[in-house]
Structure 1
Amino acid sequence: MKAKVLTYGSPTLRKHAEDVSDFSSELVKNLFDTLAVEGGIGLAAPQIGVLQRVFIISTEPLADDDSSVESFKRVVINPEITEVSKEISMYNEGCLSIPELFEMVERPKSIRVRYFDENMNEICRQIDGIEARIFQHEYDHLEGILFVDRISPIRKAIIANKLKRLHRISKNAKRG
């Protein structure tokens, strides 16, 4: 079932998500259903109002456009980033919770991670490229961090009016 994606200005997006102790496959189904309708490549539980440390990744839309991108779907539960590379990369990021806004974001190029999959198997691995980028973006959502928090102060000042408008829209939607 598709869930409503919270947008910039929602206080839930700034809260730290709690570890999952009782995994719900229904939550994952809702995340994938919502992602399919919204057209993104990743979605974290807090973005649909659930403060649990769960996110999903689906590179299918990217793989459809670029044959060099591996197509996969991944469920990530209680993730940890245990190591980051010194080498960084820049990428034009967007977010379903901040519609129609894309900004260049600097992140570590590769990361070592630990998490549980949908079968509660522990996974420890090194990831890089677009998967590392998406993982870090979605991980930030679990920490209450949005990609606009990672852009330069100058760029943030330039987009301040767009962010204020999104915040107003979010407030008005909450009232309605």
Structure 2
Amino acid sequence: MTSRIVTYGSPVLRKIAEPITENTELEQTVNRMFSILDKEEGIGLAAPQIGISKRIFIIDTTPLINDDPEIEIIRQAFINPSIIEYSSEKSIYNEGCLSIPGIYEIVERPAHIKVSFSDMELKLVEKVLSGIEARIFQHEFDHLEGILFTDRLDPMRKLLISSKLKKLQKSSRI
């Protein structure tokens, strides 16, 4: 496991992550992920972004409080998550990614989702998410599926940032 963020071009970002089947080193991994996320001042981090191809991600909305004090503070790990339902209502948001530094693009995603995941005790939880929590969940869930937010851009937008992506790919860290 690395203490650095893996960047665009690294093969681990394109793999479908493996399920977590036992609690071995789970707390240590989650603590390390939160430490990295805090250092990077991000709002979400998936295990593949630190070189671990496992189905776990974390969300921390604390950095968003300065922009919108109405945002609910969430600081949580999501283990073996899945999305059960997507709403037909869509929302757009200017997304970025710690693995694709310096690139921000408008991404359309479902506004509400129904999800299931295991908590730190590996107990199954089902929840309906909306707003920024649904947005971050979907972004991080995509990482577990080998999908990056740039894959969700229309072809013209992707073409416009392709030189930046190629530059990142050349300098990617494994």
Structure 1 position 17, deviation (Å): 0.3
2:53 — aligned with what? 51
Q: Output the CA distance in 1 between the equivalents of 2:2 and 2:9.
A: 21
The residue aligned with 1:20 is 20
How much has 1:2 moved relative to structure 2?
A: 7.5
How many angstroms apart in 2 are the aligned matches of 1:77 and 1:22? Answer: 11
Question: Which residue does the alignment assign to 2:142?
Answer: 140
TM-score by length of 1: 0.95
Stretch moving more, 114-123 or 29-38: 114-123
Q: Percent of aligned pairs with the same residue?
A: 52
Report the TM-score, using the length of structure 2 for normalisation.
0.96
Which amino acid in structure 1 is aligned with residue 13 of structure 2? Answer: L
Of 41, 59, 62, which aligns to 2:64?
62
Higher helix share: 1
Q: How many corresponding residue pairs?
A: 172
Q: Does the Cα contact within 8 Å between 1:2 and 1:34 map onto a contact in 2?
A: no
Q: Which has the higher contact order (CA 8 A, sep 6+)?
A: 2
1:66-145 aligned at under 5 Å gives the runs: 66-145=68-147
2:10 pairs with 1:10: yes
Q: Which consecutive unaligned segments of at least 5 residues does structure 2 have?
A: none
What CA distance in whole angstroms lies between the structure 2 residues aligned with 1:158 and 1:93? 16
Q: Which runs of 5+ in 1 are unaligned?
A: none
Give the ranges of 4+ consecutive aligned residues of structure 1 lying more than 6 Å apart after TM superposition. Answer: none
| Equivalent pair of 1:2/1:30 in contact (CA under 8 Å) | no
Which stretch of the first structure deviates more once superposed, 1-10 or 59-68?
1-10
Q: Which amino acid in structure 2 is aligned with residue 123 of structure 1?
A: V
Kindly report the root-mean-square deviation, in angstroms, between the aligned alpha carbons of the 2 structures. 1.3
